Structure 1
Amino acid sequence: MTDGNAGATRRRLAQELAVVAGFEDPRAPLEQYHTPPDLAAHIVHVADLQGDIEGETVVDLGCGTGMLALGAALRSPTRVVGVDIDPAPLSTARENERRVGAMTDVSWVRGDATTAPLCPDDPVTVLMNPPFGAQSGQEGADRAFLETAAEVGDFSYSVHNAGSQEFVEAFADDNGGEITHAFAAEFELPRQFDHHDTETRQIDTEVFRIEWTG
């Protein structure tokens, strides 16, 4: 696939995901932010190019309203599972599934993504935009999500604050994983909590693909 065709395919996926509704009543302690369609499309497109989506089982940990899970569902996986601890966004995710109209059904599971509520027999690709641990008392929240990814996944794609590569590399090394791809991405945060002082702001993030062999 040429770069031009790849770019067009990624943009088309972002357009398809633009109908995905965000959180109606986001909870700050859970850092519930709507993953931008462009970022989700980029992650899913890279995963698909690596052979990690089509014909595979995909799990979205902390799926929220389903952006990453639905992006994967548009790329012909065998099955998709979205896991979230909060029932309200899962209800929105089911509505979003109807809006997107993917051919692959998504199983929406209420559960704590950090305690591995899944025991898949088939190879699994994990997609996740975990909490960054920005809230007081939540520092290192993304570590627990990585622990689950290491337990259930063969490959994982995860979004982290910029400057996280040393931490992610160390975690992967200690848990039978290896970073194979990394790229920077901007994440637009709308004003949705009282501590936000601007209408929107851009934060720098990093996305890592980890191969888990441990």
Structure 2
Amino acid sequence: MATRQALETRLGVVAGFEEPHAALEQYPTPPGLAAHVVHLADLQGDIEARTVVDLGTGTGMLGLAAALRGPARVVGVELDATALATAQGNQRRVGAAAPVHWIHGDATRPPLDIAEPVTVVMNPPFGAQTGQRHADREFLSTAADLADVSYSVHNSGSQEFVESFAADNGGEVTHAFAADFEMERQFDHHTERKTEIDVEVFRIEWA
């Protein structure tokens, strides 16, 4: 298994959003965070030879990270066609050997029926936009229906909500850790060229 640092380096070529939409909270997942999440998933036996589904894949960072760790296949689901086209280009840049399938559709209602065990990886909207509080709830609900195990990135302070949601939907949070999420300025309401926010990552086993 390659190191986490080596995985982060491979992901350094992944391009971000060409036309990001604030309403969709399209912030590119940093390579270091994606490498951390997928490296942990790999250590837990949740990547190799499994189907990995990246819900709301954006430009493909998490899905492509998983594709570099020997899954049976990766499926990325994304509503934004422009972002999905960027993800396809990123697949060529990264050069992963695993098969990757890109689906244009709503990640909270994916047109998927997968019989084999599934690992979901996702960086859902944090719900920071007006009227979008707990926008990540629908993503967690989809993961509960689709996956045996999921890894998801949430805004800091989400642990009580995530643990409660998992328990109410036949799941259990087995791992949780804090991380930094570096964001570069890409919307008019951003005042700093670059900022870091605190996030939390959760591994959930679903019944």
- 1:197 matched to 2:194? The reply is no
| Paired positions, count | 207
Output aligned runs, 1:6-85, within 5 Å.
9-85=3-79
Letter in 1 for 2:29: T
Q: What displacement does 1:115 show?
A: 1.4
- 1:89 matched to 2:83? The reply is yes
Over the aligned positions, Cα root-mean-square deviation in angstroms equals 0.9
State the percentage of identical aligned residues. Answer: 68
Whether the aligned pair in 1 keeps the contact of 2:72 and 2:99 (CA below 8 Å) is no
Mapped to 2, the partners of 1:105 and 1:99 lie a distance apart of: 14
Mapped to 1, the partners of 2:95 and 2:194 lie a distance apart of: 30
For residue 114 of structure 1, give the secondary structure of its aligned residue in structure 2.
coil
1:174 aligns to what?
A: 168
For residue 91 of structure 2, give the secondary structure of its aligned residue in structure 1.
helix
Mapped to 2, the partners of 1:16 and 1:194 lie a distance apart of: 31
Mapped to 2, the partners of 1:209 and 1:203 lie a distance apart of: 20
Q: Which runs of 5+ in 1 are unaligned?
A: 1-5
CA deviation string 1:45-98 (max 9, x = no partner): 000000000000000000000000000000000010000001001100011000
CA deviation string 1:142-197 (max 9, x = no partner): 00000000000000000001110000000000000000001110001111111111
Mapped to 2, the partners of 1:33 and 1:52 lie a distance apart of: 25
Mapped to 2, the partners of 1:55 and 1:115 lie a distance apart of: 25
For residue 33 of structure 2, give the secondary structure of its aligned residue in structure 1.
helix
Mapped to 2, the partners of 1:15 and 1:176 lie a distance apart of: 37
For residue 7 of structure 2, give the secondary structure of its aligned residue in structure 1.
helix
Mapped to 1, the partners of 2:134 and 2:174 lie a distance apart of: 22
1:112 aligns to what?
A: 106
Whether the aligned pair in 2 keeps the contact of 1:114 and 1:148 (CA below 8 Å) is yes
Runs of 4+ residues over 6 Å off in structure 1: none
Mapped to 1, the partners of 2:138 and 2:110 lie a distance apart of: 10
Letter in 2 for 1:170: S
Mapped to 2, the partners of 1:61 and 1:117 lie a distance apart of: 12
Mapped to 2, the partners of 1:44 and 1:171 lie a distance apart of: 23
CA deviation string 1:11-44 (max 9, x = no partner): 0000000000000010000000110000000000
Letter in 1 for 2:102: W
Mapped to 2, the partners of 1:105 and 1:93 lie a distance apart of: 14
Mapped to 1, the partners of 2:117 and 2:197 lie a distance apart of: 33
Normalising by the residue count of structure 1, what TM-score does the alignment of the two structures yield? Answer: 0.95
Letter in 2 for 1:187: F
Normalising by the residue count of structure 2, what TM-score does the alignment of the two structures yield? Answer: 0.98
Work out which of the residue numbers 134, 137, 153 in structure 2 matches 1:140.
Answer: 134
Q: Which runs of 5+ in 2 are unaligned?
A: none
- 1:151 matched to 2:142? The reply is no
Q: What displacement does 1:117 show?
A: 2.1
